[in-house]
Chain A
Amino acid sequence: QVTLRESGPALVKPRQTLTLTCTFSGFSLKTTGMCVSWIRQPPGKAPEWLARIDWDDDTYFSSSLRTRLAISKDTSKNEVVLTLTDVDPVDSATYYCARIFTYDYGPAFDSWGQGTLVTVAS
């Protein structure tokens, strides 16, 4: 059974760096075709894709947030970490991680975590 769980601070001050961890089970990021993405969703709005890391260490980022984002993985811990620098109140959202397994459903997000709500405020 595939599961993903996001963790991190619920409250971050403006201009700080947000660090979120996705801990997953039921699959391995060593498997060819396996990827993990981060997506965020402000309250009442559509989701916004942020970043993706692949089994072969390739990384991809939203063009609008590229300069502020970093993504990394620790395959021994089954974790993917996202950092977002210089946060602003507009970065307040529920942050999700999701799995992609290209051999099953192509580039689609086939499993999602339950999300973690992050508020940026002083």
Chain B
Amino acid sequence: SSELTQPPSVSVSPGQTARITCSGDDWGNKYACWYQQKSGQSPILVIYQDNQRPTGIPERFSASTSGNTATLTISGTHAVDEADYYCQVCDSSSYVFGTGTKVTVL
């Protein structure tokens, strides 16, 4: 997939659910991953292999894939979840990042 499109911004109230989509044109047998990047910090992995959470990532982060779209869901959003989120198509030999979504917790 040469391009992964995400909405530029998503706004959510504390305690509500935020959903971020990631659309591409050729997922093939590749995995979707998601990264959170807070202002001035390095990205951290929040989802790998489509829907798995790394150790230490809260259960409110979940993800799914359907066709050529991956979705990250933050249930019961906290103020600390305010950040940029990037999807990524993970392949054993190439990687493409999404355009990024800024999540604002109002």
Whether chain B is bound by chain A comes out as yes
The yes or no answer to B45 lying at the interface (CB within 8 A) is yes
Contact with A along B63-106 (1 / 0, CB 8 A): 00000000000000000000000101011111111111000000
The yes or no answer to A108 lying at the interface (CB within 8 A) is yes
The yes or no answer to B49 lying at the interface (CB within 8 A) is yes
Q: Which residue of B lies closest to A105 (CB)?
A: B48
The yes or no answer to B10 lying at the interface (CB within 8 A) is no
Q: Which residue of B lies closest to A110 (CB)?
A: B45
Contact with B along A80-122 (1 / 0, CB 8 A): 0000000000000000100000100111111011110000000
Partner among B31, B43, B93 whose Cβ is within 8 Å of the Cβ of A60: B93
Chain B contact residue count (CB 8 A cutoff): 24
Is B43 within 8 A of A46, CB to CB? no
Residues from chain B with a CB closer than 8 A to the CB of A110 are 45, 48, 54
Is A46 within 8 A of B94, CB to CB? no
Residues from chain A with a CB closer than 8 A to the CB of B95 are 37, 49, 52, 107
Residues from chain B with a CB closer than 8 A to the CB of A1 are none
Is A49 within 8 A of B96, CB to CB? yes
Residues from chain A with a CB closer than 8 A to the CB of B98 are 46
Is B45 within 8 A of A109, CB to CB? yes
Docked pose: A91 CA to B70 CA in angstroms: 29
The yes or no answer to A47 lying at the interface (CB within 8 A) is yes
Is B44 within 8 A of A107, CB to CB? no
Q: A49-B97, A108-B48, A108-B49 are in contact. List 5 more A-B contacts (CB 8 A).
A: A46-B86, A47-B43, A47-B97, A49-B95, A108-B90
Report B's interface with A, CB cutoff 8 A: 31, 33, 35, 42-45, 48-49, 52, 54, 86, 88, 90-100
Report A's interface with B, CB cutoff 8 A: 37, 45-49, 52, 60, 62-63, 96, 102, 105-110, 112-115
